[in-house]
Structure formats: C-alpha cells, structure tokens
C-alpha cells in the first residue's frame, strides 16, 4: 500500500529517501498509518507544517490514511 505525498516550499528538503513520481512522493506504508506517523517517518517537525490536505480536503494530523490517498503538506511561512 502507498500514498502520494506532495511537499511544498521548505518541506521539500524532507523528501530525500522516497520515490518521486510527477512531483509527488510515493510513500509505502502499512494499513492504519496516520499523517503524524508519515511526518515522523520523514523527520518533518510538526511545527513546520501549516496545514494538511488529504484528497484536496483539509484534515487533522491524526487522520488515518488509505491506499492511494494524496497528502499535501504546506509549510509555515514567515513574514
């Protein structure tokens, strides 16, 4: 099972060990994984993420994911 992960802006630097397909990362996982667990796996600090969308809908960090979900992570901006 896998999800498609899109990292924007400063979060792109955390994509180093994943397979890239058309600007998205293919992230393999076992059933029952959450967005928070993916952040942990990629070593993305939660404080660096402004908001999260799954399948184009805003969601909470503890949402459980399904096969082929599309997760978008947006960075906090300073300014």
CATH for 59 = 3.10.20.30
Domain that holds residue 18: 2-75
Triad 58, 62, 65: Cα angle to 5°: 75
* Structural domains in the chain (count): 1
Please give the pLDDT value at position 58.
97
- Give the whole-angstrom CA distance, residue 22 versus residue 64: 24
- Adjacent-strand bridge partners of 49: 75
Q: How confident is the model at residue 27 (pLDDT cuts 50, 70, 90)?
A: confident
pTM of the model: 0.86
- Give the whole-angstrom CA distance, residue 47 versus residue 30: 25
Please give the pLDDT value at position 18.
56
């Amino acid at each position: 099972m896998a999800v498609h992960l899109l990292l924007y802006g400063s979060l792109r630097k955390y994509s180093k060990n994943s397979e890239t397909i058309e600007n998205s990362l293919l992230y393999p996982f076992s059933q029952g994984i959450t967005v928070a667990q993916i952040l942990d796996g990629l070593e993305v600090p939660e404080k660096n993420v402004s908001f999260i969308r799954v399948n184009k809908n805003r969601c909470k960090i503890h949402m459980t994911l399904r096969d082929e979900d599309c997760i978008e992570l947006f960075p906090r901006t300073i300014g």
